[in-house]
Each structure stands twice: as C-alpha cells, then as structure tokens.
Amino acid sequence: MANDHYQRACAFNIIQIGEYIGRLSDEFKDQYPDIAWNSLKAMRNIHAHDYENVIEHLVWETMKVELPELKEYLEKLL
C-alpha cells in the first residue's frame, strides 16, 4: 500500500469498524463465534493508539480478504 491517502483511508475504516464492534453486546458476539471480534478490535486499537506498529501487509490482507468475507457473512444475517 504505497499510497499514503489509501493507507489513511484503510486505517480510518478499520478504526470505525473496531468502534462499532466495541458497541456490540457480548451476548450478540457470542452468537456469532465465527467472526474474529477480538482480532478486529485489536487491529482498531493498533491503528488508533500504536500506529508505528501497523504491519502493512496485514492491513492489506484485512481490507482485501477479511472485511469482504465479514461483509458477506453479515449480509446473510440480515
């Protein structure tokens, strides 16, 4: 991810997703153990508080693979 604007946009989206996950009840998250709630929240925390330790290829993997899979999974729930 060479483009700085793209990196910032990805980071912002990851932070937003983590914020929303933090608002979900434990009961709700327990109903869907297939979702890596803690990992997504941890990635948010790294982007928000420990940015120098962001591993770019993991961000790329999250944006290209994990988030589309999460979106598809959640859409099936609706």
**pLDDT one-digit tens code per residue, 44-56:** 888 888 777 777 8
Catalytic residue among 5, 23, 49, 57: 49
Prediction pTM value: 0.77
Active site residue 8: no
Predicted pLDDT of residue 2: 59
What was the pLDDT predicted at 33?
94
Distance CA 39, CA 37 (A): 6
Q: Which of 45, 33, 22 is nearest to 73 (CA)?
A: 33
For the question of residue 44 being annotated catalytic, the response is yes
Count of domains for the chain: 1
Catalytic residue among 5, 8, 23, 44: 44
Dist. CA 1–CA 65, nearest whole Å: 15
